[in-house]
Structure 1
Amino acid sequence: MSTPRLSTRTLTQDEILEFYRKGALTVRGLFNEEEVGLLQKAAKGDTTIASKIYGKEDASGGVAKLCLWNDLGDDFFSMFGRVARMVEAAETLLGGEEVYHYHSKLSIKEPYVGGAWEWHQDYGYWYNNGCLYPRMISCVIAIDRHTKENGCLQVVEGSHHLGRINHGITGQQAGADMERVQQVLKTSPPVHCELAPGDVLFTHCNTLHTSAPNPSPHPRWALIVCYNAKSNDPYKKHHHPQYTPLHKVTDNVLAEVGRESMVKLDDGSFLLPKTDHSHTGDT
């Protein structure tokens, strides 16, 4: 029996085909002004979030910051991972499969000092977590405006068709084999994915991507929700969860929770540097 659809926003056939062709799809205004305003306030004002942020050095010594958690509850942040318009879009782009929440994270580039994320595929290191297939997707929600100047994401369109590229350590991050990446870039230059607050960029887990440092006076924050297909349940326990049913909420719930009560994330759901092995390649 198919899961009933709860969202009023469904992807068009053209959007689905674009994702299959490019490995990336930007959906403009998936979250409205009120919702993203509440998200900006919550992300930048939550003391628990602030205490859990840590940095990862890039190859040049710049520091890109993140805050990462595994579990979804009834708090405002969790609603972005449970809301129907996000979950159902992810399921559609993964061929109609049921998905579960793999993890969420805030990606933070502070003005003037925010470091780069090196060239990589998410599956380049998720593979080591016991996920046999690349049936995984990342959904980048722009909290601030993302521009070339403040280090927006860059993707190589169609690179998900390359398959998984070997990854090693670049700075404190997992980076793709640059000899191979440089060959790819000769024929497929990167595309800058500039986003307005509330836009969402969906990326296939094998899509090559990077982002430059932020020398500008403008912050670049994003909430990234990652999903895995139920059929791709990891064969071994790791620092991200195995399959757990995801309970969707209707689209209207998001703003209601944000307006009424921003219940904080469970303190125990956060990953700390010593337990987050994904970006270090340490499995």
Structure 2
Amino acid sequence: MNKTEKIKALVIVALVYIIAGLAAIVTLEYLPISIILRKTMVADIVATLVVFIFSMLYKNSSMYDPYWSVAPIFIAFYWLYEAYGFPFAGADFTIWIMILLLITWGVRLTWNWMLRWEGFNDEDWRYVKIKKKTGIFYWPSSFISIHLMPTLWVFAGMVPVYYAINANTTPVSILMSLATLVTIVAISLETIADNQLRKHLRTRKSKNELLKTGLWGIMSFPNYMGEILFWWGMYLFALAYNVDLWWTIFGPLSITLLFVFISIPMMKKRRENKVAV
């Protein structure tokens, strides 16, 4: 796909996400649920459903891919609005440190997807594999495994952020510093790993050539390691405000389990197949 066609595809994706965002806003406005966390989850699922509908229309589940990194930013700002009103005057600088790191993570990860995605003729190989396995049941499977479940995983990861925003306490400086450091390291690790991978994909001599230099020569899937670490950073922010929020550990833990038992094994198997060839 040429550059013009790719830009058109990205514009379509942007419009789809605007529609999904509007659907979420309407849900938040009119849904008769007083508990903000629950209301947000429903709106999140509604937005996911909108993206899924367009995934079917364009026959490409990669339409959903940027949702992982886009939705958390808007969710965080909605929670800020509910907690402090606009223009968020009550939120102190420690809250903004967490939010700015979240924005940095989300924008960078979305940008990385934009650089790698080639348009509607380009679909994640994992989705193609699921399509071959499920046949006529692909779209129900796509909704559950590719769209809905990741939305719920990320929402779980955002729960510590919600409670940090609403803590109304002074954070413990040591934990705050640790949370900031861990999150910065996570974003840096993921950024370097993704940049090295993109360069490798551009310059490799064959599709079966593996990346064994840089961070990829030191550890397996450093981009995934950075992603996992990021969500633990968000969890540490919650602990910095109130150690009694330890129970929100299910958020980063669920994302860790996703990568350890699903994403990484799939990538390892794909790598082994390349070596075998």
Q: TM-score range by the shorter chain?
A: under 0.3
User: What TM-score, normalized by structure 2, do the two folds share?
Assistant: 0.26
User: What TM-score, normalized by structure 1, do the two folds share?
Assistant: 0.26
| More strand by percentage | 1
If asked which structure has higher relative contact order (CA below 8 Å, sep 6+), I would say 1
Structure whose CA Rg is larger = 2
